[in-house]
């Protein structure tokens, strides 16, 4: 995942919107969240917006929200029409324990699981499809999907923007502090050199006297 985030962090301009939208969408529609959580893409999108690399914050928030809502909708449709067969495929079987947890979460929360599941990486990737497979009424699903996707998309994008802005300020501060530290070290080194030179010119020992290796008798 580190190489993906590093690559995404190096992008700029319109391509950032497309990549972030694709990752957020694919997490819910195609289970890509097991590789790169959509919240990571949303946070990075906000961070890039803070760096002013041709990315607008309000537009990035809109892109993330739309991608999240659309991804959940596609996940719901996949579960609705292909659920039974999909849940018997290899990937679903390998993640059977996670599916069971998501099912229990839906049974406990009902349609509200769509909203609350949006904020949990495991459930975010599974709840839409399982909601469709369980034939949850679409109007209920859509209501909680839009509410959760909007709050999640705006929240995590703003989190990334705040982190990026704070990093820029910290980086500037660290640069100033580093200059002061380097200057102090240079002055200290110069002072030590002058002190050693004066002692040498005065005929005084510069290094501490070495202890004799002889033992007293």
Query: HSE on the CB side for 96, CA within 13 Å?
Result: 5
| Strands of 71-203, DSSP E | none
Both structure tokens of 86: 């999909």
pTM as predicted: 0.70
* Residue 149 exposure: Cα atoms within 13 Å on the Cβ side: 26
Tokens of 212: 């004799």
The 10 Å Cβ neighbour count of residue 145 is 28
Picking from 54, 44, 66, the residue whose alpha carbon sits closest to that of residue 161 is 44
d(CA 17, CA 8): 11
The residue assigned the tokens 């005084």 is 204
pLDDT tens per residue across all 217 residues of the chain = 445 555 665 666 788 899 899 989 988 776 655 556 778 888 888 888 888 778 899 999 999 999 999 999 998 998 888 877 776 766 666 767 777 788 888 888 888 899 998 988 778 888 888 888 888 999 999 999 999 999 999 999 998 898 777 655 644 555 555 545 544 565 566 557 656 755 665 556 655 555 445 554 4
Nearest residue to 154 (alpha-carbon basis) of 44, 64, 69 = 64
Distance separating alpha carbons of residues 86 and 70, to the nearest angstrom: 20
pLDDT reported for residue 120: 83
Residue 146's SS3 state is helix
């Amino acid at each position: 995942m580190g190489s993906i985030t590093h690559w995404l962090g190096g992008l700029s301009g319109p391509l950032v919107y497309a990549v972030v939208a694709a990752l957020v969408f694919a997490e819910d529609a195609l289970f890509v969240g097991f590789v790169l959580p959509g919240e990571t893409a949303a946070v990075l999108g906000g961070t890039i917006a803070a760096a002013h690399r041709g990315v607008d914050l309000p537009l990035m928030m809109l892109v993330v929200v739309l991608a999240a809502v659309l991804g959940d909708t596609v996940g719901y449709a996949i579960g609705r029409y292909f659920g039974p067969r999909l849940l018997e495929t290899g990937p679903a079987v390998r993640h059977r324990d996670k599916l069971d947890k998501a099912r229990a979460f839906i049974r406990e929360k009902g349609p509200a699981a769509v909203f609350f599941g949006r904020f949990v990486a495991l459930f975010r990737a599974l709840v839409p499809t399982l909601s469709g497979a369980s034939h949850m009424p679409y109007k209920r699903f859509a209501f909680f999907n839009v509410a959760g996707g909007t709050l999640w998309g705006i929240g995590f994008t703003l989190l990334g923007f705040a982190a990026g802005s704070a990093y820029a300020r910290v980086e500037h501060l660290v640069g100033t502090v580093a200059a002061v530290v380097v200057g102090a070290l240079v002055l200290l080194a110069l002072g030590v050199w002058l002190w050693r030179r004066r002692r040498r010119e005065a005929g005084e020992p510069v290094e501490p006297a070495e202890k004799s290796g002889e033992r007293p008798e």
